[in-house]
Amino acid sequence: AQHPADIPKIWGGGIAIHGALIGSVITAIVFTRKRGISFWKLADIAAPSIILGQAIGRWGNFMNQEAHGREVTRSFLEGLHLPDFIINQMYIHGAYYHPTFLYESIWDFAGFLLLILLRRVNLRRGELFLSYVIWYSIGRYFVEGMRTDSLMLGSLRMAQMISIALIIGAVIILVYRRKKD
């Protein structure tokens, strides 16, 4: 970063969901330690709501005509059997674009349903939250590959690298906690 002092200035934009999640996890760890409650229990309770919020929140990208994918033809979008209001909103500065917001929103909503189903399974504390992290990160990795406005780090987008790190980290934590018990 050329201007490190600008990093905390979130009112200027640029806060992405990964940063919000990491900040939320740190805050939750501090909160749960001060209150003497289980971080993993709180995280498991919150996970379905978090991913549902993300599914809904992606529609903000649609409304703002941002975070879209590569250029496509109108006929491509029509071939997806999208309603006209989505096709029309994906017409930005004289071209049509992949509705990546929609892909991620559908993925996140499917993740919400999966987490609701997983709540009925006898999981250990933290495993529902870690399942959320893995599910979301897999979807984000692939959707991010279609976007055109992402920060690049070499041949990968920063969000893809963070997604890979989160998947690996969540799997390591799952395995470690299973072996520990």
Tell me the C-alpha to C-alpha distance, in Å, between residue 14 and each of 9, 46, 117.
Answer: 9, 24, 34
Whether 4 is in a domain gets the answer no
Does residue 161 lie within any of the structural domains? yes
Q: Does 93 map to a domain?
A: yes
Residue 7 has pLDDT above 70, yes or no: no
Q: Is residue 163 part of a domain?
A: yes
Residue-level pLDDT at 90: 97
Contact 42, 28 (CB under 8 A): yes
Residues facing residue 157 across a β-bridge? 152
Distance, CA of 97 to CA of 101 (rounded, Å): 11
Is 170 a domain residue? yes
- 100 lies in which domain range? 15-180
Contact status, residue 172 vs residue 28, Cβ threshold 8 Å: no
Report strand pairing: 152-153 vs 156-157. Answer: antiparallel
Q: Is there a domain that residue 122 lies in?
A: yes
Least confident of 2-6, 49-53, 110-114: 2-6
| Residue 134: pLDDT over 90 | yes
User: Which of 70-74, 131-135, 153-157 is least confident?
Assistant: 153-157
Position 3 in a domain: no
Domain count, the chain: 1
pLDDT tens digits, 17-26 = 888 899 999 9
Q: Using one digit for the tens of pLDDT, what is the confidence trace for 100-114?
A: 999 999 999 999 999
Query: Do the domain assignments include residue 7?
Result: no
The string of DSSP codes covering 147-171 is BSSPPEETTEEHHHHHHHHHHHHHH
Share of the chain above pLDDT 70, in %: 93
User: What average pLDDT is seen over the chain?
Assistant: 92
Q: How many CA atoms lie within 13 A of 52 on its CB side?
A: 10
